[in-house]
Amino acid sequence: MEKPKDQQPTVESNSEAEAKELVSHEKETHCLALLEAALYVAGRPLDLNELCQIIGSRSKKRAQKYAETLLQTYNARATALEILALKDERYVLQVKAEFTPLIKKLVNRPLLSSGPLKTLSYIAYRQPISQKRVIEVRGQHAYGHIKQLKDMGLIASERSGRSMALRTTDAFADYFGLTQDTSVLKRDLKKIFGEIVKDKPQPSS
């Protein structure tokens, strides 16, 4: 009776497995680099549909896996940059809040002048807040600021009893690369603007 031959993996099959593993690793590295570049260039949060397009995949699960891997990689680094996972399955690459006051002077052309920016910061930190209170704290010039901010789609108003309540829009968080989680947003704003968000009348600016 003929003895069965030992079933041993061939050198060729081992090489094929190693080659497939190498290709898979290279593909993942490439996709992570693509996502990092896209988040950097976009300067705003990107959702899973956009991330899928970037890596050329229809799988949101795969795109999210890569985004989470990149997020963890940034968390492990001691740098000024971070990747945040926002609501609605969106991701953003941004400067950490504690570094913003140190570098904001380097921005070539601020999109908002100091006055409207302070008013916007106050509304964002105190939201929802009545328009009347904003005017009391920021002064009569804040009427112009509020109109400008509405025109830019950064704040919205809604009827609250006899007055109008102001709050920021989703576009506000996207515009400045901030989270839409209100508690985290307020914490970051306090770090960045300090005295501005305090609930007391301020000098005209």
Mean pLDDT score across all residues of the chain: 81
Cα 203–chain centre separation: 31
Looking at domain 14-95, its CATH architecture is: Orthogonal Bundle (1.10)
Using 50, 70 and 90 to split pLDDT, how confident is the model at 121?
confident
- pLDDT bracket for residue 75 (50, 70, 90): very high
Whole-angstrom distance, CA of residue 168 vs CA of residue 182 = 10
Q: For residue 52, give Cα distances in angstroms to 16, 74, 171.
A: 29, 20, 22
Given a cut of 70, whether residue 187 has pLDDT beyond it is yes
Residues forming CATH 1.10.10.10 domain(s) in the chain: 14-95, 101-197
Domain formed by 101-197, architecture: Orthogonal Bundle (1.10)
In the 8-state DSSP scheme, what is residue 49?
H
Question: Residues near 144 by Cβ (< 8 Å), separated by ≥ 6?
Answer: 116
- Contact residues for 128 (Cβ-Cβ < 8 A; gap 6+): 158, 160, 165, 166, 167
pTM: predicted TM-score of the whole model, two decimal places: 0.52
pLDDT band at 45 (very low <50, low <70, confident <90, very high): confident
